[in-house]
């Protein structure tokens, strides 16, 4: 019974996270290891935690989880200008990210979690492991105008 309650609670929580991520206003221009360029709208990072053989908890986020020593940092998409990806970090065996921020600062960090970049293209949803990419350029997507302009005629 307790397991069922916890599972329902998790469903409610990640339902909110998924809805939040689906509204992502970030665009990503990527180049993969073979030189193919793809532009995504509603860009976000994705991974699943395995609970048991049939249960997974999905995560959709708009930040990049990286390691700095023993700490995990979450670098927000809105702060990122560009990411250069090296496939294998020498000490971790995971991708190393050279992250350039909007404010001009940059640094190299190993990924804290194996993630995929997901988003939408004109042909449908795209999912690609970050380790298979070489560059990601993030920009804010266009905000839809919620106000309608009204004009008066004399």
Among residues 103, 133, 105, the alpha carbon closest in space to that of 119 is found at: 133
Structure confidence at residue 113 as a pLDDT band (50, 70, 90) = confident
How does pLDDT run across 78-87, given as a tens digit for each residue? 999 999 998 7
Contact 71, 112 (CB under 8 A): no
Taking phi over 0 as left and psi of -120 to 50 as alpha, with beta for the rest, 143 belongs to beta
Q: Give the count of beta carbons closer than 10 Å to the beta carbon of residue 85.
A: 21
pLDDT computed for residue 124 by the predictor: 94
Region 97-126: mean pLDDT is 94
pLDDT computed for residue 102 by the predictor: 95
pLDDT computed for residue 95 by the predictor: 79
Helix (DSSP H) and strand (DSSP E) numbers for the chain: 1, 11
């Amino acid at each position: 019974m307790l397991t069922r309650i916890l599972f329902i609670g998790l469903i409610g929580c990640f339902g909110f996270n998924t809805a939040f991520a689906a509204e992502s206003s970030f665009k990503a221009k990527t180049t993969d290891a073979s030189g193919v360029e793809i532009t995504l709208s509603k860009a976000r990072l994705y991974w699943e935690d395995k609970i048991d053989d049939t249960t997974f908890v999905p995560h959709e986020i708009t930040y990049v989880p990286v390691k700095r020593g023993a700490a995990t940092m979450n670098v927000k998409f809105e702060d990122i200008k560009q990411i250069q990806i090296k496939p294998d970090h020498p000490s971790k065996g995971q991708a190393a990210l050279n992250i350039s921020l909007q404010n001009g600062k940059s640094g190299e960090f190993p990924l804290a979690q194996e993630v995929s970049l997901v988003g939408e293209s004109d042909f449908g949803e795209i999912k690609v492991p970050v380790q298979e990419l070489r560059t990601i350029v993030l920009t804010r997507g266009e905000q839809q105008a919620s106000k309608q302009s009204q004009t008066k005629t004399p």
